A and B are shown apart, each in its own frame.
Chain A
Amino acid sequence: MKQEYTITVYTENQVGLLNRIAIIFSRRKINVESLNTSPTEVESVHRFTIVIDETEEVVKKLCRQIEKQVDVLKAYYNTNEEIIWQELALYKVPTDVIAEEVKVERLLREHGASAVVIRKDYTVFQVSGHREETENLIKVLEPYGLIEFVRSARVAIIKDSNGFHEKLKEFEHQQPREEVIENEYLNKGQTIFTM
């Protein structure tokens, strides 16, 4: 069954890596719904957040292809239940309309919008939240002459992640230590073979 998955990729900060990752999707004609690049809590490590609508089977294979890239440290995928996520949206509306129609101000407040810039000719509001939330406000503002709308890519925190500091220490070792699970999908057991 297709559903929304958020892929989190930890990488080295390398020019060209964005392309390497992007073509893994485009080669398979998979539409990327959202893509964000960001620094992480670890200096020198970058984080890609990618949203696609696919089956788990496909997402799993994509993650393996991503992880296969030399400069990729780790790729995870999660369903929406497993993450905390937000998108930021900006709305530009004519200032006179807002000033005149008290209703609009109330609507904006109801949607948790806050003003970023207020000028004589226009005002820019921002909302952060899930896609439906930012999308709803478009419909609400349209009758009042919405001038411009833009939404950012998704950023997401994995609920049960401990961050990347510890993981990175594992990668710094030339040989993985015994207890390290190198591949969550393949290492069923954890015992190392000794003869």
Chain B
Amino acid sequence: MITTEATEDKAAAAAKVTINITGSEAVLKALITEDVKTIFGYPGGAIMPIYDALYDYNDRLKHILVRHEQGAIHAAQGFARSSGEVGIVFATSGPGATNLVTGLADAMIDSTPLVCITGQVFAHLLGSDAFQETDIINITTPVTKWNYQITDPSEIPSVLAKAFYIAKTGRPGPVLIDITKNAQLQKFDYEGYTKCDHIRSYRPKPIIRKEPIIEAASLINAAKKPFVIFGQGVILGSAENEFKAFIEKGGFPAAWTILGMSAIPTDHPLAVGMLGMHGNYAPNVFTNDCDVLIAIGMRFDDRVTGRLDKYAKQAKIIHLDIDPSEIDKNVKTEISIWGDCKETLPLLTKLIEEKQHTEWLNEFRKLEAKEVEVVINDELNPTTEKLSMGEVIKTINEITKGDAILVTDVGQHQMITCRYAKYSKSRSNITSGGLGTMGFALPAAIGAKFGAPDRTVIAIIGDGGIQMTIQELGTIMQSKINVKIVILNNEFLGMVRQWQQLFHEKRYSFVDITSPDYVQVAKGYYISGNKISKREELIDAITTMLNHDGSYLLEIMVGKENNVFPMVPQGCSVSEIRLK
């Protein structure tokens, strides 16, 4: 079927033959030519013509019916993050479209490629406060890389081609295309679909310039204490191998941001852990001790830098990034290498000297030992009666051998997971980094599984976050997708409680949250589950969950008032990181 479709299209394009089709059909033909397999969506009045056309394309395009449009967009994000492809969302006008806003903001700040298609009222009704009309273009302008409203079906092929090109090239991001109902219904002369490969006002990546690379190499070669920090740019650029070659040749200790995590295996000999507010001790301290700081595909978020005027002041900073607006935005750099790190890293690797910085690396290991002694031991091997979040993650590591994709929500469980998870493959750590969106994990895990069907996907969620998008259990039920759900229940909005304890004299204001019987709720959705609270049950419970044929929900009761440490308190410098 697919080949016939494509051949027909190509033949039509070559012969300049046009076929008379509706705008809706043109939308679906665009998706097929862009090799889309999965759509996450929810129908409604203004997008009904597209859904009507989809009825006939059911064999070529898989549509996953979610339970809320926020679920659709987070699922598309999970899909994009696990597969590296563009995530696709369908939603209707008005409330359907506005329900996408949180996901767009999340995808924008975390550079996730999405194409969202929303229905809109008939063009002649625009601006008349028609039923389910919202100005979604203006609402979503600050949270999209590009958006566009189509009112004429003949625009559909070229606009969608642009949408895909913009979403996935350069620094990726979400694109929203709003299509009025008349444009979906009307027929037009379709000339085939041509993929976009150039927009004159948009340069996704530059050609690489020689000087900064040569300068950077000589700075690096003279460094006594070079330190590499990297972000999601390495993953988005599929530059994992180039990155590894770079740090291995130079012998640089390397630390990741939360989104850069899993780009190299967590047990890589040069890996020194996670940066940032709840990151590891050594990389935070040595940010303010290294002599050359090499930042790759990361954007110096305030959760990473802490107090800016005390950030790496002693170091010469080299910044490699594809987005020129990130260079010198938060941190002044000595040398900037603008470009795709898949291209720039090999050039730089070629010019650097082969070295080992054994002593320098040992300094990291020494602080690491201190962190193990003061924080990590207690978290991973607690003597308390209640389970700790850390020992759950440790057990998951041991059983999955670091091969699973872990999708986390937002809060203490997220920080603990990112601190202690072991990963052997890239694209394994999926979390809402920049926006910190509670409710992200469950739908994102569904999408992640569709994006990487051969991998085990485990969602790790707090008792607060699960209740924000719990309706997506319905999506799991209907699509029969296999995701494992671990709820780490501390009977609190834990992360907020921790701040109230540390910075608001333990005034626990509205963080005491109650939960339903999750196992019963899951059962209501025909999903198997179990609840445990004892250490002796842990290994068995996780093994049972992973061996179960199909989705599974495991609720684990953990210590109520545990805190995540180390911590860089707000307003402090990274080197003032507290171990307790």
Contact = CB atoms under 8 A, between A and B. Distances in A.
Interface string B309-338: 000000000000001110111000000101
Taking chain A's interface residues, is the majority helix, strand, or loop, or is none over half, making it mixed?
loop
Contacts of A191: 209-211
Given A11-B201, A183-B338, A19 B350 contact: no
Given A68-B325, A186-B327, A193 B141 contact: no
Interface string B152-182: 0000000000000010000000000000000
A19 B200 contact: no
Given A68-B325, A186-B327, A186-B336, A19 B210 contact: no
B326 to A, nearest CB: 9
Given A65-B325, A183-B338, A195 B347 contact: yes
Contacts of A171: 200-201, 203
A175 B208 CA distance: 12
Taking chain B's interface residues, is the majority helix, strand, or loop, or is none over half, making it mixed?
mixed
Interface string A6-40: 00000110011001100100010000000000000
B197 A193 contact: no
B206 to A, nearest CB: 5
Interface residues of B, number: 35
A176 B212 contact: no
B211 A174 contact: no
Contacts of B166: 70
A16 B135 CA distance: 11
Contacts of A15: 149
Contacts, number: 88
B338 A20 contact: no
B330 to A, nearest CB: 10
A73 B210 contact: no
B338 A186 contact: yes
A164 B324 CA distance: 22
Given A27-B142, A171-B200, A195-B350, A61 B212 contact: no
B197 A174 contact: yes
B200 A64 contact: no
Interface string A50-81: 00000000000100110110111100000000
B350 A186 contact: no
B213 interface: yes
B146 interface: yes
A172 B145 CA distance: 21
B24 interface: no
B199 interface: yes
Contact of A189 (B199, B209, B327): B209
A181 to B, nearest CB: 9
Interface in A172-195: 172, 174-176, 178, 182-183, 185-195
B138 interface: yes
Contacts of B324: 64, 67-68, 183, 185-186
Given A186-B327, A186-B338, A168 B206 contact: no
Q: Which are the 8 A-B pairs with shortest beta-carbon distances?
A: A189-B211, A64-B325, A171-B200, A191-B210, A193-B210, A70-B146, A174-B198, A73-B201
Interface of A: 11-12, 15-16, 19-20, 23, 27, 61, 64-65, 67-68, 70-73, 168, 171-172, 174-176, 178, 182-183, 185-195
Given A70-B201, A187-B338, A189-B211, 8 more contacts: A16-B138, A16-B149, A168-B200, A171-B201, A171-B203, A190-B209, A191-B209, A192-B210
23 contacts: A15-B149, A16-B137, A19-B141, A20-B141, A61-B325, A64-B329, A67-B324, A70-B145, A70-B201, A71-B201, A73-B200, A73-B201, A171-B200, A183-B324, A183-B338, A186-B327, A189-B209, A190-B209, A191-B209, A191-B210, A191-B211, A194-B210, A195-B350
